[in-house]
Amino acid sequence: MIKKKGHLIRIDTANTTLVIRADTAEYLYYGRKISSAGDFSVCEGASPRRLLSRPQRADYGEPNLILCNADGGFTYDFTFSRARIAAEKNEIPGLPSSYGEGKTLELKYVDLPTKVCLYIYYTVYDDSDAIAVSSKIVNGSKKEIRLRRLMSLQMDLPGTDYKIVTFEGSWARERRKTVRELESGVFSTDSKRGMSSHQSNPFVMAENERGVYAFNLVYSGNHKEIFECDRPGGKTRFLTGINDYMFDWALAPSEEFCAPEAVMCFAPDEDSLSARMHAFVSEHIVRGKWKKRERPVLFNNWEGTYFDFNEEKILSIAAAAKRAGAELFVLDDGWFGRRDSDTCSLGDWYDNVEKTGGGLKNLADKIRAMGLSFGIWVEPEMISEDSDLYRSHPNFAMKIPGRTPERMRHQLMLNMADERVQNYVVRTISDVIARSGAEYVKWDFNRSMTDCYGKGIAPGEYFHRYMLGYYRVVSRIVKKFPFVLFEGCAGGGGRLDLGNLCYFPQYWTSDDTDARERVSIQEGTSYGYPQTVMGAHVSACPNHQTGNTNPLSARFNVACGGVLGYELDPTKLSESELSEISGQIAFYKEYRKVLQFGDQYRLYGKNVVGFITVSKDKSTAVAVVNLMERRPCDPVPTVRFKGLNPSAAYEVSACGKTQVAGGDLLMYGDIPLEGLADSKVADANSGCIMSRMYIIKKVKNG
Ligand code: DGJ
């Protein structure tokens, strides 16, 4: 709800309130919901907490905008022009953004000497505590202006006593929660890789005794988050948006530039913050036919075969997958061109007839005849130098004339900023989907960007023009195949961000499939993203990334924290392992609705990390607890469950034992994880976690 009274604008969500003073461009309040109907003037008088910067006007903080203005200088000074409340959401041309029923506040400011306008939009949805914010510059002057930075959101937070939480990592170590005390000065986190990156996800939080502020960006390219601790001013400036690294955008008279949408949310604690972000992502980011549909249990051949397969091998995996109860078989990398290794053929999206036994359609039909859906892997934005595409169209590749390009995984990237390249990708990838009849597509992206160059494109515009081209392509393809389930992937979770989730209802969380590693990766991811978007696979042991051996049951338990898949060669498993997998899949299907669409909370105890997923009506829950480390003479580990109805009674089953307890006791008592540390497997394998699953069912209403 948005209410305007004079210059004061109040935005209420179910649990939070944001108050803006439009004429002075200040935030007066953001936090817990305020019920009083006062005029908020009691909040005025502190050092101004701005929603836009005034560099050269004694605002010496990091600016939301760096502009080489029409008068040739860097100075601007925006004067309030108008505030409008619209029933429809502002459009952000060419970029993905949130959607749904709600209201949008548009604030317009004008730099009077030059007539350059800055618009800031705040969208609030009826059912969400997150607020979407975006910014736009319109060049109302008669001369070209140059944007060196336009952040999507500026939020000056009250106080300087924040702990900053970021989600950092690398390939196979995505989104590890990292906590820092904010010190005087600037702390920033960013990506310069042309992708949101494995290294620093755009989702960040700032916490103090007041609660948790969280921010994210609906964008998949270079991003930057800045926290500036201003002790004398008693405030902390936060900025998020496109990274200004190598950014320099020319705007001719009357042209506009739209920054991607940012999202902000406040909650009193981390659990409720995650619940609010999960609800926002599930309702207002993820879209299409698969939004609320239960996701199929898949078998993927990547770790089972890598590039070394033929029709017979694939069919034998698919047959075993079907016997185990899988619903979808995904043919990963290696089915096209002469792709027997990662050195060639990207861009040649035609069937390798030998490896597919006569072509994709033939293979896909045989798999469908077994009663499985068929899924296919593609990496549309890439090109191998050893490919027919490169030989015929070398200038489709992103590389700088006269320089040797940087190769990663032996591959170059396509110049997606070029319309001819975009059309080529749309045509060839659409053809792969159409001719195979694929019901699922895994869209991979296996390198960071270097050698940014496109003929006729200003270097300072390249990164963002690439993203606009990428979004144009992915949106056209997704629109053409509305029934296909698209899963995003970027060497694992290197582009798991809100921009991509607008197209891909699920994302491959990480290439690290080790259960121990996955506990932390999924835990970190869960702060800002719901489990429905996290692809989670059971793979073979010893694990291919770490060499650890975890019991099949532990690998399954951990994978139940996301959308379940298997990524191994089932023909190499024993009968007893296969029958264990059949049991797992049958169990997963029985509890799938809860596991995929219930409310998920993180669980912690001493050396214990896990999760509980609770059905919306709080009648059923599945909890997984993992003891990450065992020390001699440690006390019996304990855990407290979350999300249950405190006044209901529940039957709790684990390890063949069933007990009845109240929801309150299960949440506020310390439940001993008796015997968990005694596992024999732990003695044999140091990389092993000790994992247990609890099924919790309501037996009596509260
Ligand atoms: C990286 C992905 O994350 C893997 O799952 C697999 O698809 C490979 N690429 C294939 O090259």
pLDDT tens-digit readout, 342-401: 999 999 999 999 999 999 999 999 999 999 999 999 999 999 999 999 999 999 999 999
Ligand 1 pocket check for 492: Cβ under 6 Å: yes
Cβ pair 509, 539 in contact under 8 A: no
Overall CATH class of domain 337-501: alpha beta
Whether 13 shows a pLDDT value over 80: the answer reads yes
Domain spans of the chain, in order of start? 49-284, 337-501, 604-698
* Residue whose C-alpha is closest to residue 427's, from 533, 345, 347, 341: 347
Give me ligand 1 centre to Cα 333, in Å. 7
Which residues are bridge partners to 384 per DSSP? 411
Residue 143 neighbours by CB distance under 10 Å: 14
Which pLDDT belongs to residue 500? 98
Q: How many residues does the chain have?
A: 702
340 is catalytic: no
Q: What is the pLDDT confidence band of residue 47, given thresholds at 50, 70 and 90?
A: confident
DSSP conformational letter for 570: G
| Average pLDDT over the chain, rounded to an integer | 96
Dihedral over Cα of 54, 60, 66, 70: its sign? positive
Three-class secondary structure of residue 390 per DSSP: helix
Which pLDDT belongs to residue 451? 96
DSSP string, 489-538: -BTTBTT-SHHHHTT-SEEE--S---HHHHHHHHHHHHTTS-GGGEEEEE
Dihedral over Cα of 438, 442, 474, 89: its sign? positive
DSSP string, 607-634: TEEEEEEE-TTSSEEEEEEEE----TTP
- Tokens standing for residue 529: 């993203």
Cβ pair 649, 619 in contact under 8 A: no
* Chain-centroid distance, C-alpha 152: 18
Can you list the alpha helix ranges (DSSP code H) found in 632-701? 663-668, 680-684
Superfamily classification of domain 49-284: alpha-galactosidase from lactobacil brevis (2.70.98.60)
What is the pLDDT averaged over residues 296-304? 98
Ligand 1 pocket check for 335: Cβ under 6 Å: no
CATH number for the domain formed by residue range(s) 604-698:
2.60.40.1180
- Tokens standing for residue 26: 């200040």
Place of tokens 């007839």: 353
Nearest residue CA, atom 9 of ligand 1? Answer: 491
Mutation pick for ligand 1 pocket among 448, 507, 511, 567 (CB with most ligand atoms within 8 Å): 511
Whether 188 shows a pLDDT value over 90: the answer reads yes
The CA-based angle 219-425-567, given to 5 degrees, is: 75
Ligand 1 pocket check for 511: Cβ under 6 Å: yes
The CA-based angle 575-581-582, given to 5 degrees, is: 90
Nearest residue CA, atom 11 of ligand 1? Answer: 333
* pTM value surpassing 0.75: yes
DSSP conformational letter for 42: G
Looking at ligand 1, which atom is closest to the CA of residue 302? 6
Mutation pick for ligand 1 pocket among 170, 408, 444, 445 (CB with most ligand atoms within 8 Å): 444
Three-class secondary structure of residue 682 per DSSP: helix
* Residue whose C-alpha is closest to residue 690's, from 680, 676, 671: 676
39 is catalytic: no
Give me ligand 1 centre to Cα 97, in Å. 27
pLDDT tens-digit readout, 389-425: 999 999 999 999 999 999 999 999 999 999 999 999 9
Which pLDDT belongs to residue 682? 57
Share of the chain above pLDDT 70, in %: 99
Nearest residue CA, atom 10 of ligand 1? Answer: 333
Ligand 1 pocket check for 129: Cβ under 6 Å: no
Cβ pair 592, 294 in contact under 8 A: yes
Q: Rounded CA gap, 329 and 366, in Å?
A: 11
Which pLDDT belongs to residue 631? 82
Ligand 1 pocket check for 440: Cβ under 6 Å: no
Q: What is the pLDDT confidence band of residue 320, given thresholds at 50, 70 and 90?
A: very high
Q: Rounded CA gap, 693 and 702, in Å?
A: 24
Residue 241: exposure state from Cβ atoms within 10 A (0-12, 13-18, ≥19): buried
Which pLDDT belongs to residue 681? 64
Give me ligand 1 centre to Cα 40, in Å. 53
Q: What are the CB-based long-range contacts (under 8 Å, 24+) for 284-287?
A: 284/98, 284/99, 284/100, 284/125, 284/128, 284/130, 284/132, 285/98, 285/218, 285/498, 285/501, 285/502, 286/501, 286/502, 286/505, 286/532, 286/533, 287/99, 287/502, 287/505
Do the first three CATH levels of 49-284 and 337-501 match, i.e. the same topology? no
Whether 150 shows a pLDDT value over 80: the answer reads yes
Q: Rounded CA gap, 641 and 603, in Å?
A: 7
Place of tokens 């929801």: 663
Residue 571 neighbours by CB distance under 10 Å: 12
Ligand 1 pocket check for 508: Cβ under 6 Å: yes
Cβ pair 436, 326 in contact under 8 A: no
pLDDT tens-digit readout, 539-596: 999 999 999 999 999 999 999 999 999 999 999 999 999 999 999 999 999 999 999 9
pLDDT tens-digit readout, 605-636: 999 999 999 999 999 999 999 999 888 888 99
Which pLDDT belongs to residue 35? 84
Contacts of 645 (CB under 8 A, 6+ apart): 618, 663, 698, 702
Contacts of 617 (CB under 8 A, 6+ apart): none
Which pLDDT belongs to residue 42? 78
Nearest residue CA, atom 1 of ligand 1? Answer: 491
Catalytic residue among 230, 418, 497, 511: 511
Q: Rounded CA gap, 538 and 604, in Å?
A: 23
Give me ligand 1 centre to Cα 507, in Å. 12
